Amino acid sequence: MPIICTFRGIKIYINYSDHMPPHFHAYYGEYECCIDINEIEKINGDMPNKQLKMLMGWAALHQEELKENWYLARQKEMLFQIDPLK
């Protein structure tokens, strides 16, 4: 899974051969969760509240870019980096 963004210790990935719905994976230390791109909601996993709020805010700001990367991943094409939360 290629990293598409890293900020404040959170690493964000999209898997090339992943299942629906469109989502991304986020890792922070020992925590991991999946976020639905269309609904901007946690599908599963755990993340500390502070990091989850930052992650959801970032995802809302970059929702269209996340959708584009999801489409590219489904086509097995190279993904692009998305700007981190500032």
* Residue range 77-86, pLDDT digits in tens: 999 999 999 8
* pTM for the full predicted model: 0.94
pLDDT of residue 80: 98
Using alpha carbons, select from 44, 53, 47, 54 the residue that is nearest to residue 18: 44
Summarised one tens digit per residue, pLDDT across range 48-77 is: 999 999 999 999 999 999 999 999 999 999
pLDDT of residue 60: 98
pLDDT of residue 18: 82
pLDDT at 41 over 90: yes
Contact 31, 47 (CB under 8 A): yes
Using alpha carbons, select from 36, 37, 34 the residue that is nearest to residue 47: 34
